[in-house]
Structure 1
């Protein structure tokens, strides 16, 4: 199964359209779609986007809760209700709504970042800050794992 991978810098044209990279379009087309699902990321100033696998993940998350439960209804409303269907034009471009651009603070440039089953759309400066923080956390985790491995201890509590 192929994944959304890599990072692409894109410019929005004068009409506010943005190209979706060809490898991403190929994955979406494989799902039989001519559009991209997109919603504001819940925990980041970015947009979550993708095809059928994004929707499958959302479905699975919502289905963890009992039908008619308050949690399920809130989650479904927050996710399904916020999704916008962005139609791909013949050149592989989509139009981001003002609401989506506002959430992610996107002006005339964006960065698309693969996350496997989906991708995120970021304002470039905010993505650089996010990437620096994530890289620092990853380095710290690597150092922690490496120090535990030197003693043969793989438990975080040292036992």
Structure 2
């Protein structure tokens, strides 16, 4: 069993608005020991960030870099803590997304869960495909740039 969220999965919401968290993600959450599922609106994407203690620790680490009296701390805390929800996960591994979370991510009757190591994201599937395509395009450009920078001593280029 891994302690990281990896891969991506698409699941449908049922008639009651519940969606099953992928079993491999549930296993990571169980190992993490967080009660429920911590979810907040992604800062700059039409997606949701979700996880447990590891995600909370990352948020706390980010906030600890700023004075609690600074504007930056206030803004980040509002965005990361002020829009967060702790969702209940039932015994079948299902959760219900609030209307506010669904509206932020444009979620209808299907969601895509995307692993990000210490957290996972929840996307509307078409938005995720577009985001993934854009990410791959940008990464090709990064790879070309890195390849042109490395010479014989810098390692192989492709």
Task: State if a TM-score over 0.5 links the two structures.
Answer: yes
In structure 2, relative to structure 1, the CA distance for the partners of 1:109 and 1:68 (3 Å cut) is: same
Match of 1:52 in 2: 53
**SS of residue in 2 equivalent to 1:10:** strand
Match of 2:115 in 1: 114
Q: Is the 8 A contact 2:3 2:31 kept in 1?
A: no
**SS of residue in 2 equivalent to 1:24:** helix
Alignment RMSD: 1.5
Match of 2:74 in 1: 73
Match of 2:94 in 1: 93
Match of 2:65 in 1: 64
**SS of residue in 2 equivalent to 1:34:** coil
Match of 2:135 in 1: 134
In structure 2, what is the Cα distance between the partners aligned to 1:51 and 1:84?
12
**SS of residue in 1 equivalent to 2:67:** coil
In structure 1, what is the Cα distance between the partners aligned to 2:53 and 2:111?
23
In structure 1, what is the Cα distance between the partners aligned to 2:87 and 2:45?
20
In structure 2, what is the Cα distance between the partners aligned to 1:67 and 1:120?
27
The answer to whether structure 1 residue 144 and structure 2 residue 150 are counterparts is: no
Match of 2:44 in 1: 43
Match of 1:157 in 2: none
TM-score normalised according to structure 2 size: 0.91
Deviation at 1:142, TM superposition (A): 1.2
**SS of residue in 1 equivalent to 2:140:** helix
